[in-house]
Structure formats: structure tokens, C-alpha cells
Amino acid sequence: AYTFAEAAHRGQKRKSGEDYIIHSLHVAKNLAEIGMDEKTIVAGLLHDVPEDTDITLEEVEKKFGSEVALLVDGITKLGKIKLRGSKEEYYLENLRKMFLAMAQDIRVVIIKLADRLHNMRTLEHLAPEKQERIARGTMEIYAPIANRLGIGEIKGELEDLSFKYLDPVHYEETRKLEETYLHEGKAYMERTVQF
């Protein structure tokens, strides 16, 4: 799957300037870290192939089977959510598509969460207005779904990363406080252990 995805994405770059395959690898790694099965990880590696390359979903199915193709197709459909109308309409449409995907196969939503997590980790390479829009969607849609699915590590990181772009002043204050207390707490623990 890696070889196939790497060949398909060869020459493509992300806004950061790194090869596109790096994103696919991070999505697969995120999925592996939460203990997902082989087919889900394969679909994570291939999730952008039909949408962003000349390779068709049929070719993915022929090479990796119908289960992987179904997952990749589900992710492609979720990726087509665009902001239209009011914020409420956007929110409801996002929820509707997420719940439809969950009804079809919950792994589609888990792959989408892993995809969003890596996109949030690299959000600094986008324009500020896009950063805010993506961070808001993450807080309103993705973090709550990660929470409902019991994936607390992803939920927490998505919220922290969103906070950085939605309220940068308070984020920086919080980060400094955390750093100070973490450092003081560590020093206190080391002194206590010595006694």
C-alpha cells in the first residue's frame, strides 16, 4: 500500500513543501497508534489516492480489495464537505455526512479523524482565514465525534490544536502557565524523591 500510494502521489507537495506521501504516512501512523486493523491502516495510506491522483477507485479495489475500496470511497465522500450557507447549515451538513459514514462503516470516520489530526498538526502552513475555518470545524465536528467514540487522545489534541488558532492570545498564556507549572512540578518531584 505504501509503494502504491507513494507512486501515485509522486511529485505532489503539501503547502509545507514536503512530499504528499508524508501526510499519508502520518495518517497511517495515527491509525496504528490507536490499534486499528490492517485494512483500516491500508485505507489510511490510500485515502487521498482516488481524489488527488489519476488512480481510480476501481484500481484501488482491484489491487487491495472491496473492503479497502469501500473505506477509501467513504473518506473521499466525507472530504467533499464544503462550506455553503449559514454556519448552522454547514454544521448540520457535516454532522449528517459523518453519521451516514458511521452507519456505513465506523472505520471511515476514524480514518477521517486521523486525517484531520495530521492536517491540524500542519495547519501553520495555510492562510490565517483557512486556519480559523478548519480549526472551527475541528472543534465543532471532529473533536466531539472523537469524544463520542472514546478516542480521548485524539479529542484532546484536536481541541488543543484548534485552541491555538481560534484564540491565540489565551492559548499562549495557557501554554506558558503549563510550562511554568510543569517545570516547577518536576523540580518539586525531583527534590521529594531525593528525600
Q: Convert the pLDDT of each residue in 8-61 to its tens digit.
A: 999 999 999 999 999 999 999 999 999 999 999 999 999 999 999 999 999 999
Rounded CA separation 137/145 (Å): 12
60: which 3 cell numbers? 484501488
Residue corresponding to grid cell 489534541 = 157
Collapsing DSSP to helix, strand or coil, 85 comes out as coil
Q: Which of 142, 111, 88 is nearest to 28 (CA)?
A: 111
User: In this predicted model, what pLDDT tens digit does every residue of 86-139 receive, in sequence order?
Assistant: 566 666 666 766 676 666 788 998 999 999 999 999 999 999 999 998 999 899
Set 19, 52, 59, 132: catalytic member: 52
Set 18, 19, 37, 51: catalytic member: 51
Number of Cβ atoms within 10 Å of the Cβ of 16: 12
Is 167 part of the annotated catalytic residue set?
no
Q: What is the pTM of this model?
A: 0.83
Rounded CA separation 94/82 (Å): 9
Is 51 part of the annotated catalytic residue set?
yes
59: which 3 cell numbers? 484500481
